[in-house]
Amino acid sequence: MAKNTLTALQIKAAPDGKLFDGGGLSIVIKSGRGRWVYRYSHLGKRREMGLGSYPDTSLADARKARDKWAGILSRGLDPIGEREATRAAEILERDKSDPTFTEMTLTVFDAKKAGLRGDGTRGRWLSPLERHVFPKIGGKRLSQIHQTDIRDALAPIWKPKAPTAEKAIQRIGVVFKQARLMGYDCDPFTVEAAKHMLGVVMHKPAHIAATTWQEIPALYDRLDGLAVSKLCLRWMILTLVRSAGCRGARLSEINAGVWTVPADRMKGNEGSVSDFRVPLCPEALRIAEICGETSGDWLFPSDRGGKGISDVALHKALRRLGEDGRPHGFRTSFRTWAQDTNQPWDVSETILAHTIGGKVERAYARSDLLDRRRIVMEKWAAHVTQSSADVIKLRG
């Protein structure tokens, strides 16, 4: 047992400097405060181990700590190495039982991403959290997050960027609910309370600008020429497929007058979408023929090659024409035309690849209405081209 030489009164009255106790224990005094040090030798190497500050750690407590680590040393182990290993294990256990918000979010996302398009990258599931939430509360332990923390993180965007804020708080709720189901110490009501504190936002969604169906023929006529962007926009007007599906179109996807859009370019959750067949009118087939002669398998290649044209290029092409409508708005143009001209509702919705009916109904009604869609789409093409001959115009 170490021979102790110091007393509490000696330490209290000592000037600045170092005082030694027995068994390698010493204290460095400065301005009435001090630092306890345990000095020892392990494998021929001298080491110093901090045992706390004075007066927070008393002389008696420092001696207990010294004796504890001296016992570890007597077993041939390095006290500093053992303490570091113990702390690492404690941190690991803490992280397992009480992860940070970022850690828990990534765990939940990893479990969800198999059901998201492109493993969650296509819909940018993490984006609102990475940008607006992680910097504020990402490092906080789940059990320590209060509704005011969530409120403060989202307050700057709650009204100015309401759609983004809504996505963020919805996904925070998903994280908390999943964490609670996994047994972590958190309350999903915390998210609901934060939403209540943030208040009601009267956000009116802005509809995508759409060219009226009456103006579509004039726009189609102005999209003349062999520019890839214009040909792609014409293709979108005729086929009514979303931008991603059209921009990635390939000649090899067309067979016997039908274009099959792969599931990975269709909108929807992973596992809930399938390949989508599109009947092509003669005008659309002529566009495919023209593109196949100049660009190979990719109907609408980008300038950089190797992939389809960008969405930005399509928007630029419309802006150059002074057109306020957006590419996605062509689908609205068609749907309004279908209403005003009394086209069959179920056929029109299927043309737009919208889900019709409930789960049970869809389980029995499995037809994709291809032949009926062809009739309506040819009527639409006749309106678009203002011609029953469906001849594409190429003027430079």
Band (pLDDT 50/70/90 cuts) for residue 389 is: very low
pLDDT at site 396: 34
Structure tokens at 101: 């918000």
Q: Which fold has domain 216-385?
A: hpI Integrase; Chain A (1.10.443)
| Region 193-201 average pLDDT | 88
Domain residue ranges in the chain: 8-95, 101-198, 216-385
Q: Is pLDDT at 310 greater than 70 in this prediction?
A: yes
CATH 1.10.150.130 is held by the domain 101-198:
yes
Min mean pLDDT across 15-24, 47-56, 351-360 is at 351-360
Cα-to-chain-centroid distance, residue 31: 53
The Cβ of residue 357 has, within 10 Å, a number of other Cβ atoms equal to 12
pLDDT at site 22: 85
CATH 3.30.9.10 is held by the domain 8-95:
no
Share of the chain above pLDDT 70, in %: 86
CB under 8 Å to 141, separation ≥6 — which residues? Answer: 98, 99, 100
**Distance between CA atoms of 86 and 80, rounded to whole angstroms?**
10
pLDDT at site 294: 78
Identify whether 55 is preceded by a cis peptide bond (ω within 30 of 0): yes
pLDDT at site 122: 53
| Region 154-161 average pLDDT | 92
CA-CA-CA-CA torsion for 303, 306, 312, 316, nearest 10 degrees? 30
* β-pair partners for 258: 255, 279
| Region 56-77 average pLDDT | 92
pTM, to two decimals = 0.56
**Distance between CA atoms of 194 and 352, rounded to whole angstroms?**
38
pLDDT at site 246: 93
pLDDT at site 395: 37
Share of the chain above pLDDT 90, in %: 52
Min mean pLDDT across 73-82, 123-132, 309-318, 380-389 is at 380-389
Domains 8-95 and 216-385 share a fold: no
Residue type, 339: Q
Tell me the per-residue pLDDT of 244-264, one tens digit each, with 9 for 90 and over: 899 999 999 999 999 999 988
Residue type, 360: V
Q: Is pLDDT at 19 greater than 50 in this prediction?
A: yes
Mean pLDDT of the chain: 85
Q: Is pLDDT at 85 greater than 70 in this prediction?
A: yes
